Structure 1
Amino acid sequence: MKNFKVSRIITHDTTFHADEVFAVALLKICGFHEVPVIRTRRKEILEDALLDPTAFVIDVGGSYNPGMLNFDHHQDTSLPSAAGLIWKMMNYCFHDDLIPHFDAFFAAIDAVDTNRDNIYELLHTLPEGFRNASSIISGFNRDVTDPQEQKEQFNDAVNVAMMILQNEHHSAIEHVRSEKEYADREILPNGVAVFKTFNTIWKKKDDHTFAVMPHANGWQIQSRDTALAVVPENVSECEGFIFRHGSGFMATVKDFEVAVEFARSILTEDPELPFNY
């Protein structure tokens, strides 16, 4: 179904949620930007749309039938949210290397929308000011008795969701690139990793306490976790020293050779390596 005609996208009115907002945003990103979006629960409109193979019916209508572009999940608790259903159909729009990243992203939207694995209990344990993609999108709701205002807010929410998906696309590309370059890293005798390009995943690997990589102002020495170790203060004595963050999580110097030489001098806590505290 990579090439098919779509005449309209229908979802429910009043309060909107992240699942139908991200579903609509994904369809727009995948080429249906100009297709009109209708928000309604009017029975006659839904009945007609459910029988129209050119009309997406999302998060409403009581039917899950991809062949007819019907994507409601409320009638079957085993289904993911509307966002997950649309993602399952439209993931061909993304390169295969990026699909695992978006699988995880949409699984998170599904979990919040359907309270999968009792996620609400987990969310209640987080700081009061914590926000996730679902709560940010829900925050666009206003007066549900004012259809025009809600329509405008829904459109704003979809535009923000599109930007979030674009950011996720960038993150996914960077993750794939960083994974490939991680394998080519240089490892100094004391265990410090050296990257010739900025790497976004090295901290998640838990293989190194420190790393060296390029920065806009030169070369940066980073700590994986300041609870484990900080970049020593004497980095300020290096030639071409630029900045050390007060927390010690990173410092920047101008030249690559200077950054690497300083990194070689950092002691490690790994008993298998040559240097110890």
Structure 2
Amino acid sequence: MSSTATLSQPTPPTVDEQAAKRRKMDSGSSKVIGTHNGTFHCDEALAVYLLRLTETYAGAGLKRTRDPAVLATCDIVVDVGATYDPAAQRYDHHQRGFEEVFVYGGHNQVKLSSAGLVYKHFGKEIVQREVGSKVGEEGVERLWLKMYKEFIEAIDANDNGIPAYPSSQTPLYRSSTDLPSRVRHLNPAWNQPMTSTIQDSQFAKASELTGSEFLQRLHYYADAWLPAREIVVTALQSEASKSVDPAGRVLVFEGFAPWKEHLFEIEADLQQGEKKALYVLYPDETAGNWRIQAVPVSSESFESRKALPEVWRGVRDEELSKVSGIEGGIFVHASGFIGGNQTKEGVIQMAKKALEM
């Protein structure tokens, strides 16, 4: 073997393997989770999985029943029992008068299901246990809120029958591949055997499905989404950005990262008012080339806060260099939302001229 040969590294365990290992290690738990039997739904399937990610209920057993006497023997009960009482570890949402919500950013329109209730009370602990060592206390708080907004809230809304759009609007198509639909399809069909053993087995599959997707999303946000946010924060404060425009209207990224969502959230947190970024500069996928992108008015909008000058739009290469007076021109999109230059200095000059025009 060559002295420069690289030894192969062991493949790290997947999220599913990590979860399975944790459940095996904690299988000696004497705690019991209770939920209803019969047809199951996404919310309680996920609620049970989430509880097993906590220290208290790791490896807990499960009883699926509607018998009050049996439920009374359980350490915690979700999605059945007509009681919401955290002190008693009872987390149902079907009872009259229940209006509990998860408040984030002033948004609190969706009533919680059992998944949302469990996440509201145990979610921060779960995030801490899963990724806390990588992201720190502030990161845990941010991910706890992010996971509710992007993952749990839709499950709450689906279970409580809250539409995503006004009833006066007719949807153009029907989605049957979302997570609640896939859980629903795991229930035995009407003309298949409906024994409790079969139903419990299918519920276990549903719980594993919801939990594995939850963990995959959480680890993506911890490993990719949160680091991108840090890049945007750094660019907002960097001397490189300030040197291009002291007023903070140009951000310079030394490497590409998804920035739109983060930029709008950070600006809102800082309450910057009219002092907002207009252009973002970053290296593109072609080595040595750089891009300038106009910041849109919102993360989903095609309209720019300040598009690149009209006279540059739809012009390429030498002609672009000529009309802009900047060497190394590559292109400017016909809408003026993005352009390119062969060098970093080139896009800096494009940004400075665009601010003036």
Aligned to 2:166: 122
How much has 1:184 moved relative to structure 2? Answer: 0.8
Counterparts of residues 95-244 of structure 1 (less than 5 Å): 95-105=140-150, 106-115=152-161, 119-122=163-166, 125=169, 127-129=171-173, 136-140=178-182, 141-142=184-185, 143-145=187-189, 146=192, 147=199, 148-149=201-202, 151-170=204-223, 173-174=226-227, 176-177=229-230, 180-181=233-234, 183-185=236-238, 186=241, 188-189=244-245, 191-196=249-254, 198=257, 199-200=259-260, 201-202=262-263, 205=267, 207-217=276-286, 219-225=290-296, 226-228=302-304, 229=307, 232-234=313-315, 236-237=317-318, 239=328
Q: Does 1:258 align with 2:319?
A: no
Instruction: Give yes or no for contact 2:46–2:207 (8 Å, CA) kept in 1.
Output: no
- Alpha-carbon deviations, 1:114-150, whole Å to 9, x = none? 35xx645537748534869xx7111212254453556
TM-score by length of 1: 0.67
Aligned to 2:31: 7
One-letter identity of the residue aligned with 1:122? P
Distance 2:216 2:169 in 1: 28
Distance 1:30 1:253 in 2: 51
Aligned to 1:271: none
2:72 aligned residue (25, 44, 50):
50
Structure 1 residues 254 and 20: alpha-carbon distance in aligned structure 2, compared to 1, 3 A threshold: farther
- Number of residues paired by the alignment? 256
Distance 1:215 1:32 in 2: 48
Distance 1:41 1:227 in 2: 54
TM-score by length of 2: 0.55
Structure 1 residues 97 and 234: alpha-carbon distance in aligned structure 2, compared to 1, 3 A threshold: same
Distance 1:23 1:96 in 2: 20
Instruction: Give yes or no for contact 1:64–1:72 (8 Å, CA) kept in 2.
Output: yes
Structure 1 residues 77 and 169: alpha-carbon distance in aligned structure 2, compared to 1, 3 A threshold: farther
Structure 1 residues 192 and 236: alpha-carbon distance in aligned structure 2, compared to 1, 3 A threshold: farther
Distance 2:349 2:219 in 1: 38
**Aligned-partner SS, 2:94:** coil
How much has 1:98 moved relative to structure 2? Answer: 3.4
Distance 1:103 1:125 in 2: 26
| Structure 2, unaligned runs of 5 or more | 1-28, 101-111, 129-139, 193-198, 268-273, 297-301, 319-326
* Deviates most, 78-87 or 14-23: 14-23
Work out which structure has the larger RCO, using CA pairs closer than 8 Å and 6 or more positions apart in sequence. 1
- Alpha-carbon deviations, 1:85-117, whole Å to 9, x = none? 1122212344234344345444454344335xx
Counterparts of residues 87-98 of structure 1 (less than 5 Å): 87-90=119-122, 91-92=124-125, 93-94=127-128, 95-98=140-143
**Aligned-partner SS, 2:59:** coil
Structure 1 residues 202 and 6: alpha-carbon distance in aligned structure 2, compared to 1, 3 A threshold: farther
Q: What root-mean-square deviation, in Å, do the aligned CA atoms of Structure 1 and Structure 2 show?
A: 4.2
Instruction: Give yes or no for contact 2:44–2:115 (8 Å, CA) kept in 1.
Output: yes
Structure 1 residues 171 and 77: alpha-carbon distance in aligned structure 2, compared to 1, 3 A threshold: farther
- Alpha-carbon deviations, 1:148-180, whole Å to 9, x = none? 556534532332233233334456624752563
Distance 1:203 1:220 in 2: 20
Identity of aligned residues (%): 21
Distance 2:329 2:57 in 1: 50
| Structure 1, unaligned runs of 5 or more | 269-274
How much has 1:49 moved relative to structure 2? Answer: 4.1
How much has 1:58 moved relative to structure 2? Answer: 1.8
Q: Does 1:61 align with 2:81?
A: yes
Distance 2:180 2:203 in 1: 12
